[in-house]
Chain A
Amino acid sequence: MRSFEGAIDADLHPMVPGLDALRPHLEPFWADSIDQRGLEGFESQSYPPHAPRTVRADWRPQGRFPGLPEMQAWLDKTGAAIGILNPIYGVQLIFNADMNRAFTQGLNNWVRAEWLERDARLRASIVLPNETEHAVAEIERLAPDRRFVQAMRLVMGEIPHGRRTHWPIYAALEKHGLPLCLHAGSAYRHPVTSLGWVSWYMEDVAAQQQAFQSAVASLITEGVFVQFPGLRVVLAESGVSWLPAFLWRMSKGWKGVRFEIPWQAEPPAETVRRHIRLTAQPFDAPDEAAAQLLGHLGSQDLLLWASDFPHWNYDGLPSLPPGVDREKFLRGNAAALYNRFERVPA
């Protein structure tokens, strides 16, 4: 019996080896633009390609990014029954909205052709283009393929995730029963802190934790879950330990100034428990505090197991947080969230 037999791995990263990989999946004009303009690739500062953290050393075959064979070997090793692909390739950084749409579509096409078609265990996020109308169109284009189980944006974008201009996207997701996944990373429209640019990559990694707090605050305060009661949001690579303290602060603020957001009729913590899930890699509390932290979360329903392959968060196999409900964590919570696992085209 493998350690995670039958588990659902909620965060795997198919690594784009370079723009040439996307070329066959792009519209001809944009494929030509790679050479015409000398495009060098969209690797993002959120994951420097050569940083040890971006790809664990034993997952770099001959110093390259891992491909499908390495990911398949990893799935074989963990025993996961299903793995959800979150392609992280900095298409969100592209300023030209048409170019952003084109390369995002190309990325999604690449995932479908090179990954989903080649291993039945794999599912994927629809990477969303930046413009609202482009994002809605991409959801409509790919939602009929039930191997796409959610839609993904980077947690740090141009404007906060709750803002009304995004709402047609949420309407489309709710209609199709697709969760929104907010994944760590930035489109670098803003520095990664509210205090300006940082000196060290370590600060960039740490800043994800602040980004997720701000994203949840925005979704709650703008009333997204009031308007779209069927919408679920997955926070991927978010860490976990920040959530209770954030909710205590948010709920306290809500008691004092809820006149400002009258549509929010319940304490934010309750809305979060109903609508938001977190992938638990990295699980950022030490073992000796884990059981208390799980108590602070107030529910065993919130966490989804994820290996975060091939990012380097741990050596060997991931460990389970002490005190976690194993069945819910490895499979039950994800099975309850994603409604597309049992109806896969043959």
Chain B
Amino acid sequence: MNMMLANAKPAAATLGLCDVDIHPRAPSRDAFDPWLSAEMRHRMHSYGLRPRHGYVRGTPFPKSQPLASRRDAWTPQGGSPASDLGFFREQHLDHYGIDVGLLNPLQPSGQGDTNDGFSAAMAHAVNEWQLAEWVVPEPRLRASIVVPYEDPEASAREIRKRAGDPRFSQVLLMSRTSMPLGNPRYWPIYEAAQEAGLPVGIHAFGYSGWAMTNGGWPSFYIEEVSEHATSCQSLLISMVVEGVFERFPRLKIVLIECGMAWLPSVAWRLDKIYPSLRCEVPHLKRKPSEYIRDHVWVSTQPIEEPERPEHLRDTMEWIGWDKILYASDYPHWDFDDPRLSIPNWLPAETRAAIYGGNARAVYGW
């Protein structure tokens, strides 16, 4: 599954490739020390992250591979996947000819930590680390503004601190938050993002503290993975129904690694129930699907795989060809090779839009 194909660059380079989902990893937890206060360094090394689940190490549902990563993504020196800029550049950016790559740091980023102060301190440190270790030495890369989203006011401060710095391309949230993301408690984040002209990227992951399905905890990793789609559906429904897009008419949401084929069905479902419920939600002025069409973009990986490829084309048509962004998810095991994951029977201009044109439009690259 993770075999490297030779001679990648010439074919892909012509496409103006943008990759909106790359996961840089710190070689160790010491990596953030330079940007943490003494108190927060002590917390990091004595108590560590305290997410909304019970494990100190690893994840509640063991992954299918170590660090959920490609087996070939460990560095030649045995370092963790995507922990070394040189090897990452060679294996990914140069190999595929990627023009622009967007960094989405995952844990240990402190996002979703039960301690708001620590989460805010880590967000600042991770943002500085992205600049120092990745974006400054490699100009093809862009950073995401990691925010302590369970403290929306602190998140807004972090966004305003970075606003106007072109090295940051979006505000980054995880999908599994402790309340649905449309809830007004999170609106300071959207207010600051809109003010800064930055899209809000919502990446599938995190731990809400609630059961991973609305009918209780599942058993398997395969369920955890597919339940990301249901969690993302719930957050989008929440954003639409709470009226986020009425309140923030210039807000752009990019759903990253959330899957995408479900998007039309959620929009239809909301449109279908809206007539019998509109008396409850007079703050909505338009059909739910219209908010989704105007405000939501999706990334490709993990792109759904119908038995018949033309069904994917129907779905992409319903979503909108201008709303779909290529993502690799490097270095994770379910990484999508840009040459193989976007159907080659799509017209060349459509492929070019998905490979890079749409991302350039939404992120202003």
Contacts and interface: CB of A to CB of B under 8 A. Distances in A.
Residue of B181, B209, B265, B307 with highest tally of chain A CB at under 10 A: B265
Contacts of B180: 193, 195-196, 198, 203
Contacts of B304: 245, 248-249, 252
A98 interface: no
A296 B311 contact: yes
A24 interface: no
B229 A246 contact: yes
Nearest to A192: B214
A245 B179 contact: no
Interface string B147-182: 000000000000000000000000000011111111
B76 to A, nearest CB: 26
B324 to A, nearest CB: 14
A207 interface: yes
B117 to A, nearest CB: 22
B179 A203 contact: no
Given A203-B237, A245-B315, A214 B227 contact: yes
Given A210-B230, A252-B304, A252-B305, A194 B213 contact: yes
A253 B225 contact: yes
A312 B307 contact: no
Given A195-B176, A196-B178, A202-B281, A214 B215 contact: yes
Interface in B216-241: 216-223, 225-227, 229-231, 233-235, 237-238, 241
Contacts of B311: 244, 248, 292, 295-296
Nearest to A182: B215
Interface stretch (B22-30, B78-86, B103-111, B271-279): B271-279
Interface residues of A, number: 73
Interface in B172-223: 175-183, 208-223
B234 A195 contact: yes
Contact of A286 (B237, B266, B268, B315): B268
Contact of B273 (A190, A202, A246): A202
B226 A248 contact: no
Interface stretch (B121-129, B256-264, B352-360): B256-264
Contacts of B302: 249, 252
Contacts of A194: 176, 208, 210-214, 227, 230-231, 234
A195 B265 contact: no
Contacts of A157: 215-216
A222 B216 CA distance: 14
B36 interface: no
Contacts of B333: 256
A245 B262 contact: yes
Contacts of A284: 265, 268-269, 272
Interface string A257-284: 1111100000001000000000000101
B318 interface: yes
A208 to B, nearest CB: 9
B210 A160 contact: no
A155 interface: yes
Contact of B208 (A161, A189, A196, A209): A196
B133 interface: no
Contact of A197 (B64, B179, B225, B235): B179
A30 interface: no
B184 to A, nearest CB: 8
Interface string B83-107: 0000000000000000000000000
A257 B61 CA distance: 13
A189 B261 CA distance: 29
Contacts of A251: 305, 307
A49 B78 CA distance: 62
Interface string A238-251: 01011011101111
A169 B237 CA distance: 34
A51 B280 CA distance: 9
B270 interface: yes
Contacts of A214: 213-215, 218, 223, 227, 230
Interface of B: 1, 64, 175-183, 208-223, 225-227, 229-231, 233-235, 237-238, 241-242, 259, 261-262, 264-266, 268-274, 276-277, 279-281, 302, 304-307, 311-312, 314-315, 318, 333-334
Interface of A: 51-53, 155-163, 186, 189-203, 205-207, 209-211, 213-215, 217-218, 221-222, 239, 241-242, 244-246, 248-261, 269, 282, 284-286, 289, 292, 295-296, 298, 312-313
Q: Please provide the 5 A-B residue pairs with the shortest distance between their CB atoms, ordered closest to farther.
A: A245-B261, A214-B213, A248-B304, A193-B234, A241-B265
30 contacts: A52-B276, A157-B215, A159-B215, A189-B216, A191-B210, A193-B231, A194-B212, A194-B214, A194-B234, A195-B176, A198-B238, A200-B241, A202-B274, A205-B277, A206-B269, A207-B237, A210-B230, A213-B229, A214-B214, A214-B215, A217-B223, A221-B219, A245-B229, A245-B262, A252-B302, A254-B222, A259-B64, A260-B220, A261-B220, A284-B272
